[in-house]
Amino acid sequence: MKVLVSSCLLGEDVRYDGNNSSITMGSSFTFSQKEIFMDILCDNEIYSFCPEVSGGLGVPRVKSEIVSANKPFKVETIEEKDVTIPFLIGAKNALDICKEEDIKVALLKSKSPSCGNIEIYDGTFSNNLIEGQGLTARLLEENGIKVFNETQLESLNQFIQSN
């Protein structure tokens, strides 16, 4: 199966702080989680993608959060600079790849203003999480692409096995 995967989860240094969120090297993941992730990587066709970089933002970049999660969307940096357009472009680019390659499932970074699929930061830069989706996760889901995050590896694996 073809799977879109957040580049940072694959160990690419594309996060806003210039680091990554590698599952295989991350100390917060159990051996079992790492093993499931490696099975997913080995048994499927992986498409590495970072919506924020694809949308034109650099690495490192100023931390951003969604300040308006409903249309019209608004994403701002901690310095109150509007970066909505690069986030929307990145989301559209992710959807385009999924459509072009017939990708039906994505593994995206949790809590991200682009990739979060369950929770995102509340837009106040105070580390408060709220229920919500990042712009890329939301657009993919709206277009029938199932989105998982790195805490849902077992569910992702089950989804892949059943499809």
Task: Say which residue the tokens 């999480």 belong to.
Answer: 129
Can you give the pTM of this predicted structure?
A: 0.96
CB of 160 within 8 A of CB of 40?
Answer: yes
Name the nearest CA neighbour of 19 among 65, 41, 50. Answer: 50
Q: What confidence score (pLDDT) does residue 26 get?
A: 86
Q: Could you check whether the bond before residue 51 is cis, i.e. omega within 30 degrees of 0?
A: no
β-strand pairing of 64-68 with 45-49 = unpaired
Domain of 35? 2-162
What is the Cα–Cα distance from 95 to 20, expressed in whole angstroms? 22
* Ramachandran region, residue 127 (left: φ > 0; alpha: ψ -120 to 50; beta: rest): left
Name the nearest CA neighbour of 52 among 106, 96, 107, 8. Answer: 8
Task: Report, as an integer, the average pLDDT of 107-116.
Answer: 98
Number of structural domains (the chain) is 1
β-strand pairing of 119-121 with 129-131 = antiparallel
Min mean pLDDT across 26-30, 76-80, 96-100, 115-119 is at 26-30
The confidence band for 14, taking pLDDT boundaries of 50, 70 and 90, is very high
DSSP state of 73: P
